[in-house]
Amino acid sequence: MQTYLTAFQTYLEVERHASSHTVRNYLSDLHQFVDFARAHLRQELHTPGQIEPSLIRAFLATVHAQGTGHTSMARKLSSLRSFLQFLQRQGHLSDNAARRVQMPKTRRPLPKVLPIDQVFALLDTPEVPPAPQLLRDRAILELFYATGIRVSELVGLNIGDADLADGTLRVRGKGKRERQVFFGKTAGEALKAYLQVRRQARQAPDDDALFLNHRGGRLSTRGVHLLVKKHSRRTGIPTSTSPHTLRHAFATHLLDSGADLRSIQELLGHQRLSTTQKYVHVSTDRIMEVYDKAHPRARRSQGDV
């Protein structure tokens, strides 16, 4: 079975251009399934043909009993479906047994959206003294809210990806797909101020990286999460605020201000519009406003009671 797993890993990395995080999750789920199958069948899992729907259901029931949440269970089943689909295309299987197993229903709570005043309070980082780290943090927070980019996309930015004159960033998203995002005057000024001190780090270990840590290396996703949490505590907004919170605020505030869903889809880098629809939480006030303006029978004159 290890031969098949290795071939699948190569497929993910070379053909799908999957991120290291995605590959790691796929293989972790699959190895967990193989270990379960070995114990459940009391023999090694030698061929893909041994993988039957009943075995997959028993695996999901076991991990659920161990406390695994619905979302994680759905991901594990998705990993198995992708793996068996790959083997089917390679001619090792005639049927994808995981397709005959129902996906566990996931409970998706509505995401919490930071009000505009809380976002502005977070972005209002102290400017005195203009320490390099504060200038960096201010530029990062402004770019998150101005562009809606993911934290992985932000830490992957190089100096050459930012065009201050045009107010654009070249971003490499999921699957190494590139897209262009925009930022306004405030974010541009914050980025320009940071770049002035960034250029002084000529001995930096990573000369191409846009955002550096205190050692001069490329800033990590963990480092970005920590700085967002630090400034959230300073501001007094919920400490659960994360880079993804700002991405969601970007999308929701655009939608509430009249931006269309297709444009937001492009800016967020979503391949499917359905992803954007699930991701963006529309406020009730906005829905009612659109209804009142658009529906012929909803319009009233000033004299109507």
Residue from 16, 40, 64, 244 carrying the catalytic annotation? 244
Closest to 125 measured CA to CA, from 181, 197, 53, 187: 187
Residue among 70, 179, 225, 279 flagged as catalytic = 279
| 105 flagged as catalytic | no
Look up 279 and say whether it is catalytic: yes
Sequence-distant (6+) residues with CB within 8 A of 53 are 97, 98, 100, 101
270 annotated active-site: yes
Whether residue 150 lies in the annotated active site: yes
Q: What CA–CA distance (Å, rounded) separates 276 from 299?
A: 29
The gap between the terminal CA atoms of the chain, to the nearest Å, is 73
Q: Please tell me what DSSP assigns to residue 48.
A: G
Q: Which of 136, 138, 150, 248 is catalytic?
A: 150
**Catalytic one of 136, 247, 248, 253:** 247
C-alpha 101/C-alpha 152 separation (Å) is 33
How far apart CA 1 and CA 305 sit, in angstroms, is 73
Name residue 180's beta-bridge partners. 170
Q: How far is the C-alpha of 115 from the C-alpha of 212, rounded, in Å?
A: 30
Active-site hit among 40, 64, 174, 179:
174
Look up 247 and say whether it is catalytic: yes
Q: Which residues are catalytic?
A: 150, 174, 244, 247, 270, 279
